[in-house]
Structure 1
């Protein structure tokens, strides 16, 4: 098994805790499903949120999905002029036999425009 990293992002329609939880759960589930992963394959997850998101911690959604024994951390993205607003990003460190090229990075909705080169 190798240590790999898989990325993803989603743009929220509004800064509301329930909406954030739903969108982050959808993103995290898609990352796991598209890469054939389970919670046991997760080493750690970094969540970042743009500075305009204040309603909750994105990591709450992972805990609500039952990911309870994986280290999680939340951080704030840089406040760059012109950057896409209301975005939550995920960087998950995983154990996998897949090559880096075989990993599916997941960018949902409008967030797909952030990384057209790797979004699937």
Structure 2
């Protein structure tokens, strides 16, 4: 079965190293929380809000050992007024035997407000 794993993180400023480092942190936590192997990943889609322009967050995926051949693409979020600023979102599609309710979606830093009902912290507390 193909499942989507969602994740998001915020950055404090539009700085290339902070963007890539935050994305790497998010990806590593998504991988750890869901026991994902690169060979099981169909693709990774990363979106950013309009205020993130200093780097492609997809660079973070290339820092991970064994993830060289995983397709990754960056895109922009719809600029909805009042939406969470400086936010990086990830959608990772994976082949897994897990049921949808077993997937751990990961929301870090300021992004926890996006889906507190699905966040990793919430699942750990259950």
**TM-score, normalized by the shorter chain, greater than 0.5:** yes
- State the TM-score, normalized to the length of structure 1: 0.96
What is the CA distance between 1:40 and its match in structure 2? 1.5
Determine the structure 1 residue equivalent to 2:51.
Answer: 52
What is the CA distance between 1:93 and its match in structure 2? 0.4
What is the CA distance between 1:42 and its match in structure 2? 1.0
Tell me which stretches of 4 or more aligned residues in structure 1 moved more than 3 Å.
none
Ranges in structure 1 where 5+ consecutive residues have no aligned partner: none
- State the TM-score, normalized to the length of structure 2: 0.91
Determine the structure 2 residue equivalent to 1:41.
Answer: 40
Matching of residue 71 in structure 1 with residue 71 in structure 2: yes
Structure with more helix by fraction? 2
Determine the structure 2 residue equivalent to 1:31.
Answer: 30
Determine the structure 1 residue equivalent to 2:116.
Answer: 116
RMSD: 0.8
Deviations 1:39-72 (A, max 9, x none): 1121100000000100111111101223210111
For these two proteins, the number of residue pairs brought into alignment is 119
Deviations 1:93-114 (A, max 9, x none): 0010111110000000110011
